[in-house]
Homo-oligomer: A and B are copies of this chain.
């Protein structure tokens, strides 16, 4: 299978798994979404589980890339963290496959499946570490108070996004989600102190 065709198929699988979760997505669903017959799917991706894992990695990579782009474009780490929160403001109006995080959904849905939950957990830890690193950077640059616990800030930030995105899954939440994202962004910005 050509590489770009495979990538296209993987993207479709990602969207389907993100929307429906692992268990509720059948091979029939995948056959339809990827427009591939079972044999081709297995030739390209080995198994449903392997395909899911690859889709999950892709999801995590995309998210990390978005955050890294913000870090590169924003004037400071704290500004990037705030901008990242604001990027969820229109969550309720987007047409994404789902609103909640696919990694969080996986940890919650497949808690008793070690292969899936361990991988999702690792990717979540990476994500939290990215946030923590941004807070550390902000602290190193004197953007936030030196006595703040950056690990704690990273965890809290991470949990807030999880809560916001889970909330966004609820119907009719668009306006509330927009407000909450803005509120959270302002709280992050409020951590800024005068340069020493």
Copies in the complex: 2
Q: Which of B109, B112, B162 contacts A167 (CB 8 A)?
A: B162
Q: How far is B162's CA from A161's CA once the two chains are assembled, in angstroms?
A: 10
The answer to whether the Cβ of A111 comes within 8 Å of any Cβ in the partner chain is yes
Contact status A176-B155, CB under 8 Å: yes
Residues of chain B lying within 8 A (CB to CB) of residue A159: 160, 163-164, 166-167, 180
Q: Which residues of A contact B (CB under 8 A)?
A: 19-21, 23-24, 98, 100, 104-105, 107-113, 121, 124-125, 152, 155-156, 158-164, 166-167, 169-171, 176, 179-180, 183
Known: A23-B109, A108-B109, A166-B166. 9 other contacts (CB 8 A): A23-B24, A24-B109, A107-B170, A108-B166, A155-B180, A156-B180, A156-B183, A159-B163, A160-B163
